[in-house]
Structure formats: structure tokens, C-alpha cells
Amino acid sequence: MTGRMIRALGMMSGTSLDGVDAALIETDGERIGGFGRSGYRAYSGNEAEILHAALGRWPGDEGVADAAELSVAAHAALAAEFPEAALIGYHGQTLTHDPGGRGTHQAGSGADLARQTGRRVIWDFRSEDVRQGGQGAPLAPFFHWACADWAAREGTMAPAPVLFLNLGGVGNLTWVDPSAAGPEQGCLAFDTGPANAPINDMIRARGLGARDEGGALAARGRADPAIVDDFLRHPYFARTPPKSLDRDAFAGLSRAVAELDAEDAAATLVAALAASVVAGFDHLPSPPEQVLVCGGGRHNAAIMAALSSALPCEVLPVEAIGLDGDMLEAQAFGWLAVRVLRGLPTSGPATTAAPAPVCGGRISTPRGTESDFSDSSLDGSGHSA
């Protein structure tokens, strides 16, 4: 049974550590009613340094409190530009992810963000999935199913299996069958391997900027096939999905390209990215008709060319079906926030390997309390009554 449409603001700061995305979405937590405006707040050089210094650390470790405070302040500043949102879906800043060990750590308190914004905040989306034995990632797959359902209803794509490929710091894919009854039945998802993170880190370490703009360096370089072949021997690729990765799970790849010049290093990292996606195709239930690329990686022409050359189907940016690839993850956390609101699953066995469907997420109010939150407290437009 569907509920009333709620206007939610989804916010996302990914492992590429470049800034905060925010996007409005109208949804009942099942179907997408419409997309609203979006915004972006870049991290300054000093802010990025604070976040980089905290990577790999856990609550209480040096630098984590500074990173958490920065995350909340940056998100609150951007959220102020969206007064029409009834609630906020806040991902926080992933500093480390170890689902088989210590758990998962997204810095930033949703309770603090609720107090600073004066709105209810749904946050800490991953911990419950990990607590129940899941990988805690990726979390966008159920939303990808909703996007495919929306696109099929809008007539911008056929109701046939497609692949959403998100290229942020880490790559992840979602195989989606929009003809299925719901996301629990129509998704398979897993992390494919490193994506933008090692490229960005290499560029940054060499003082060449924040990223390989447009893939210009990679386009001039030559990939080292021996490094790519060695990368593909990693046992992760043979593991049956669902499965997930930490941002720095393939640190050996970064070490392997350290002696190459910047052009060849970038080309090798792009080739490794494409090869990891090809390896992921071995685990799909059926071949997709299209690969729809979202995230920052789709702006890298070298990455898109490598994928088009390597994959057995059409590779397109998600804009081809009317979506915004820069804001898809932010929209996802707005959609997931409303889903948590209604007590609906946000992940499941085929997306995170949790033993049963999980509704993850905490709800904080501006008064500093945490509670279950019924959509009866909103009026029909999605605003607080």
C-alpha cells in the first residue's frame, strides 16, 4: 500500500571527499512522485585535508571529532538553502567500512544536524544492516529499482533488466528488473572495485589538482597490463555477491602505479576500473540491455570509453533516461529517509547479504530526541503540520 508523497532532502558526501550533494525528491518511500531542485557545497582544500586525515579511523580516534563536526556544519549550511524540505536524509561521511570486523563508521551526528536545521533527520542508514550480518553497502540499489520503475512509467526506458553503475570513490552496480513486484525481488547489487578514489588520490598526491578532469591524463597514457592482470587476481572478484569494499581495500593497486608517470598511472587505474566491472558481469542473473552510469566517473571520457569498449551492451550516462547522475545518490538518501519513516526495507539479502530485509536508519528530532516517526505528522504536501 502506498502512502502520501513527502518532500524530502537527501544529502550525500561520498568517499571522493569533494563536497556535499543535496537533492529534493517527492516520494512515498515506494514510488517516485517527482524530482526537485538540487545543490552542491564543495569542500575547501583545508576541509578536504581534515576529512582525508580521518580516513580509516573510528569514533574516539584522533581527528574523527573534527571530521564529524565539519560534516554536520557543511550539511547544515547547504540544507538551509532548502527550507521546503519536510525532513532530511543524512548519510554522514564514511571514514571506514569493515562489515566483517568492527562494523561501519559514518562520521557526523544526525541528532546534531537536526538541532542545527530545526528538522527531523533520518541517518545512520548502514549500522543496522551490518548488525544483522549484512555488508551495509551498497544502499542505493532499492532506489535504483524505483528509478527504473519511474523511467519505465515515464516511457524513457523499456521495462527490461538494466544495470546502474555508480562510479564514486568505489564502484558499485545494481542489476535491476523493473518488472519485478518490488526492489526486494528485482535487485542484485555489489561493489565492483575501486573507481575514482585511487585516481583522485594519485592526482592529489602528485600535486596535479583534485582529479583527472575529463580523463585527459588517462587519454594520453598507456595502461600497464601486468598491473591490471595482477589486480584481477585479488580474491574479491571471485567472491559471490552481494559483497562490499572499503575505500582503501585495493591499496596495493595504488602502490603498483606509484612508479608510473601520471598519464600511464591514470590510464592503468582506468583500465583496472573497467576490468573490475567486466568481472562483475559474471555474477549477473541475466545480461542487461543497458549500463546506465551515474556518479562522477561518467564525466571522465577515458572511463566511459573503456567501459564502452569492454562491455557487451550499450553504456550510457543515466541522463539518457531522464535522471541526474550527479545527484542520484543524494536523491537515494531522501527516498530511503521516507522509506525508513514508513518502516519499509532499505536493504536485503540480494543487495547487502543481510539474512532478511532490513529497515536501517535512526530518526532524530530538533528537540534532541529519537523516535519512530509516522507520516501522519506531515500534511499532504510533505510539510510539518
Tell me the pLDDT tens digit for each residue of 151-165: 999 999 988 999 999
Give domain limits for the chain: 6-132+327-344+358-377, 157-321
Q: Give the side-chain half-sphere CA count within 13 A for 189.
A: 36
Q: Which pairs from 67-73 meet CB under 8 Å and 24+ separation?
A: 67/93, 67/95, 67/107, 67/108, 68/92, 68/93, 68/107, 68/108, 68/109, 71/13, 71/107, 71/108, 72/108, 72/109, 72/112, 72/113, 72/116, 73/116
Same fold, 6-132+327-344+358-377 and 157-321: yes
Tell me the pLDDT tens digit for each residue of 32-69: 999 999 999 999 999 999 999 999 999 999 999 999 99
- pTM of the complete model: 0.87
Tell me the pLDDT tens digit for each residue of 282-304: 999 999 999 999 988 999 999 99
Q: Is the predicted pLDDT of residue 124 greater than 80, yes or no?
A: yes
Query: Residue 1 — very low, low, confident or very high, per pLDDT cuts 50/70/90?
Result: very low
Query: Residue 105 — very low, low, confident or very high, per pLDDT cuts 50/70/90?
Result: very high
Q: Quick one: which of 264, 261, 283 has its CA closest to 272?
A: 264
Q: Which residues contact 185 (CB under 8 A, 6 or more apart)?
A: 177
Three-state DSSP at 34 gives strand
Q: Provide the 8-state DSSP code for 43.
A: P
What pLDDT sits at residue 369?
60
* DSSP percent split of the chain into helix, strand, coil, nearest 5: 40, 25, 40
What pLDDT sits at residue 231?
97
What pLDDT sits at residue 248?
81
Tell me the pLDDT tens digit for each residue of 180-195: 999 999 999 999 999 9
Q: Is the predicted pLDDT of residue 176 greater than 70, yes or no?
A: yes
Q: Is the predicted pLDDT of residue 98 greater than 90, yes or no?
A: no
* CA 273 – CA 278 distance, rounded (Å): 9
Contact (Cβ atoms closer than 8 angstroms) between residue 127 and residue 136? yes
* CA 34 – CA 27 distance, rounded (Å): 7
Looking at the chain, the whole-number percentage of residues with pLDDT higher than 70 is 95
What Cα–Cα distance (Å) separates residue 143 from each residue in 164, 176, 183, 384? 10, 10, 8, 24
Query: Going by DSSP bridges, is the β-strand pair 103-107/87-98 parallel, antiparallel, or unpaired?
Result: antiparallel
What Cα–Cα distance (Å) separates residue 104 from each residue in 16, 170, 298, 361? 17, 15, 27, 13
Size of the chain in residues: 385
CATH of the structural domain 6-132+327-344+358-377, one choice from 3.30.420.40, 3.40.1790.10, 3.30.470.20, 3.40.47.10: 3.30.420.40
What Cα–Cα distance (Å) separates residue 247 from each residue in 92, 154, 239, 244? 15, 35, 18, 10
Tell me the pLDDT tens digit for each residue of 310-337: 999 999 999 999 999 989 999 999 999 9
Residue 244: all three cell numbers together: 562490499
The superfamily CATH assigns to domain 157-321 is ATPase, nucleotide binding domain (3.30.420.40)
Q: Which residues contact 329 (CB under 8 A, 6 or more apart)?
A: 10, 12, 14, 21, 91, 140, 166, 168, 294, 295
**273-288 mean pLDDT:** 97
Name which of 11-20, 72-81, 217-226 the model is least confident about. 11-20
Count of CB atoms within 10 A of residue 355's CB? 10
Looking at the chain, the whole-number percentage of residues with pLDDT higher than 90 is 86
Q: Which residue has the cell 585516481?
A: 199
What pLDDT sits at residue 380?
31
What pLDDT sits at residue 2?
61
What pLDDT sits at residue 384?
29
What pLDDT sits at residue 383?
29
